[in-house]
Structure 1
Amino acid sequence: MTRPLSSAERSAERRQNWLKGEAEKARESRGEAGQMEFWLRIARSRIAKDVKSGRGDVYSGFALICRLFITALDQRVEGDGRIWNDLLRYADQVVAQHPPRN
């Protein structure tokens, strides 16, 4: 038998379901571009919250991730899709194991 969820767990579950639902709505209304724009808005909001909390290293972390993404795109254009494929596979694994929270 499983125990009932605590209020914090229920709240986290509702937030996760909301994020998934909103991302899906964005995708349905504007396609993949809409879904991308939704996640960029969420990332921008989370970055602002981290900075307010004194974690300014979030800027350099996000910049590094953007540089990695651009490198993967550039390599794919040049005919080498290994970095792109590895990046997508790793991102898929991480998101599957650690879905977004609050």
Structure 2
Amino acid sequence: MNRPLSSAERSAARRQDWLKGEAEKARESRGEAGQMEFWLRLARSRMAKDVKAGRGDVYPGFALVCRLFITALDQRVEGDGRIWNDLLRYAEQVVTKHPPRN
């Protein structure tokens, strides 16, 4: 038998639904680029909140993720798609297991 969701769990579920809905709206209106822009705006907002909370290491972390992404793109252009494929596979595993919160 399932127990009723707590208010925190309901709030998290509503947030998940909102994120999915907004990402889908962005995709419908502007395609994949619109969805990408939505996630970039969300990431920028979250980074600003982290910096205000005293977690300034978010900037070098994001820079490193961007460098990884560019390296994967460059390697793919050169004919070696292993890093790109590994990056996408890992990213899919992480976001499936840990969907965005708050």
SS of the equivalent of 1:23 reads helix
Residues paired across the two proteins, number: 102
- For structure 2, the residue ranges without an aligned partner over 5 or more in a row are none
2:5 counterpart letter in structure 1: L
What RMSD over aligned residues (CA atoms) do the two structures have, in Å? 0.5
**Percent identity of the aligned residues?**
89
- TM norm structure 2: 0.99
Structure 1 runs (4+) deviating above 4 angstroms are none
Distance 1:49 1:7 in 2: 24
Distance 1:35 1:18 in 2: 14
- TM norm structure 1: 0.99
Deviation by residue 1:13-39 (Cα, 9 ceiling, x = unmatched): 100110000000100110000000000
Structure scoring higher RCO (CA < 8 A, sep ≥ 6) equals 1
SS of the equivalent of 2:2 reads coil
Q: How does 1:9-24 map to 2 (within 5 A)?
A: 9-24=9-24
